[in-house]
């Protein structure tokens, strides 16, 4: 992580790539984005309606029926012409509309999971599947959390055999990077790059 | 993307005054969309918030989400202002990469992967 005035901007020729970091409260999303980001990770709040629609015009902002959703935002320059943006967002159903809006334009998603409450990550998985976005599940190694064989984890999350499952520690850079590397490798390994219709 | 329209004076102002009822670029503006400023388009007449966006974007390229963060503006408000600056030709917006079936896209993704592996 580094930040001074000159680091503020991305290279002029850059193309951006967007990857989502999803999962339930306290699963490590903020930690993950902070570990990987080259800029001080940004925390933003987006407003949405109670119905879960992301508000995208000023009219909506005046309505009382809004709630805010905390998002994490990080950046990683991968080449002179490639900059990766990470968007961390909660996967709970009440944020569904907002996260659905985030899936547009995304390359894929990394779903964080905790073995003490795997079921809390199901919503994020369902959401990415419905959006037909490629994803990888990353089990965050929490101290004292039970360890299970991979086959058992896959079964409890009903993962497709082609969906990668990795174990990582969101606090450690190399470990955290392995999640993104696995995700992009899996996308490249697909016979068709574009998301299924 | 539609061809950028020259901005009519006061457009941004009337836009906010009518509660954001203008359609074009806004819906396709992603947080990861990159913004490039056209330094030759004058800032005269721009409302204060739009001018702040331009001053931030002139020295270099930033994403929509970063603009919102640096200017401490809500994402929705930022998208409204940025999209009218795109429509008026002050900013060019480049949407994030999403792969299609082309070989070129596969090559780009391979470079994404190599970039990650080098970190
Ligand atoms: N042991 C361990 N703790 C973690 C890991 N990732 C996050 N934490 C801790 O879990 C707590 C919640 O993490 P946070 O990133 O705030 O979760 P968020 O709500 O998903 O953003 C914090 O105290 C983190 O330090 C991990 O990989 N291993
Ligand atoms: Mg958090």
CB-based contact (8 Å) between A6 and chain B? no
pLDDT for the residue numbered A99: 87
Retrieve residue A196's tokens.
């299924």
A162 Cα: distance to centroid of ligand 1 (angstroms): 27
Using the atom order of ligand 1, give the atom closest to the CA of residue A112: 20
Does a structural domain hold residue B7? no
Q: What is the mean pLDDT of chain A?
A: 87
DSSP state of B61: B
**pLDDT single digits (tens) A18-40:** 999 999 999 999 999 999 999 99
Pocket test for ligand 1, best of A33, A41, A170, A178 (most atoms within 8 A of CB): A170
Q: C-alpha angle with apex A128: A83 to A70, nearest 5 degrees?
A: 65
Share of chain A above pLDDT 90, in %: 69
- Domain tally, chain B: 1
Name the closest residue on chain A to residue B92, using Cα atoms: A12
Using the atom order of ligand 1, give the atom closest to the CA of residue A169: 27
**pLDDT single digits (tens) A40-91:** 988 877 766 555 455 554 444 455 556 677 899 999 999 999 999 999 999 8
Q: What are phi and psi of A26, to 5 degrees?
A: 65, 20
> Of A68, A70, A72, A24, whose CA–CA distance to A49 is shortest?
A68
A29 Cα: distance to centroid of ligand 2 (angstroms): 6
Does a structural domain hold residue B9? no
Domain of residue B36, CATH code: 1.10.10
Q: Which ligand is nearest to the CA of A26?
A: 1
Q: Residue A148 above 90 pLDDT?
A: yes
Strands A135-140 and A165-168: parallel
The CATH homologous superfamily to which domain A15-188 belongs is P-loop containing nucleotide triphosphate hydrolases (3.40.50.300)
Residues 112-171 (A) with a CB less than 8 A from some CB of B: none
- List the residue whose alpha carbon is closest to atom 2 of ligand 1: A142
pLDDT for the residue numbered B10: 30
Strands A108-113 and A15-23: parallel
Does a structural domain hold residue B57? yes
Domain that holds residue B57: 19-118
Average pLDDT over residues B97-110: 88
Report which of residues A57 and B19 the model is more confident about: A57
Question: What is the pTM for the complete model shown?
Answer: 0.86
pLDDT for the residue numbered A91: 83
Q: Is the ipTM of this complex over 0.85?
A: yes
Report which of residues A4 and A28 the model is more confident about: A28
Contacts of B115 in chain A (CB under 8 A): 78-79, 82, 84
Mutate to test the interface with A, among B56, B112, B113 (most CBs of A within 10 A): B112
Length of chain A: 197
B14 Cα: distance to centroid of ligand 2 (angstroms): 37
pLDDT for the residue numbered B56: 97
Q: Residue A122 above 50 pLDDT?
A: yes
pLDDT for the residue numbered A66: 65
pLDDT bin (cut points 50, 70, 90) of residue A196 is low
Does a structural domain hold residue B5? no
Average pLDDT over residues A171-196: 91
pLDDT for the residue numbered A193: 77
How far B58 CA lies from chain A's nearest CA (Å)? 10
| Whether B96 and A185 lie within 8 Å, measured CB to CB | no
| Cα A93 → chain centroid | 15
């Amino acid at each position: 992580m580094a930040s001074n005035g000159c680091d503020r901007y991305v290279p002029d020729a850059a193309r951006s790539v967007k990857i989502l970091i999803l999962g339930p409260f306290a699963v490590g999303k903020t930690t993950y984005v902070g570990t990987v980001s080259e800029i001080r990770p940004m925390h933003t709040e987006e407003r949405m309606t109670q119905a879960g629609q992301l508000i995208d015009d000023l009219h909506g902002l005046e309505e009382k029926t809004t709630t805010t959703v905390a998002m994490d935002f990080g950046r990683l320059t991968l080449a002179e012409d490639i900059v990766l943006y990470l968007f961390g967002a909660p996967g709970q159903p009440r944020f569904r509309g907002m996260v659905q809006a985030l899936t547009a334009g995304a390359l894929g998603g990394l779903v964080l999971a905790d073995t003490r409450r795997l079921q809390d990550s199901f919503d994020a998985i369902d959401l990415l599947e419905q959006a037909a976005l490629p994803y990888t599940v990353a089990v965050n190694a929490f101290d004292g959390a039970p360890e299970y064989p991979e086959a058992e984890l896959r079964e409890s999350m009903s993962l497709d055999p082609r969906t990668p499952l990795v174990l990582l520690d969101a606090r450690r850079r190399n470990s955290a990077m392995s999640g993104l590397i696995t995700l992009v490798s899996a996308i490249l390994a697909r016979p068709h790059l574009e998301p299924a219709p | 993307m539609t061809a950028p329209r020259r901005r009519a004076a006061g457009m941004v102002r009337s836009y906010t005054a009518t509660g954001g009822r203008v359609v074009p670029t806004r819906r396709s503006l992603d947080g990861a969309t990159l913004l490039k400023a056209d330094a030759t388009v004058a800032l005269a007449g721009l409302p204060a918030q739009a001018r702040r966006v331009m001053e931030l974007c002139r020295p270099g390229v930033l994403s929509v989400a970063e603009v919102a963060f640096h200017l401490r503006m809500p994402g929705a408000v930022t998208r409204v202002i940025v999209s009218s600056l795109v429509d008026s030709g002050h900013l060019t917006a480049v949407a994030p990469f999403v792969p299609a079936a082309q070989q070129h896209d596969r090559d780009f993704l391979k470079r994404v992967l190599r970039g990650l592996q080098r970190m």
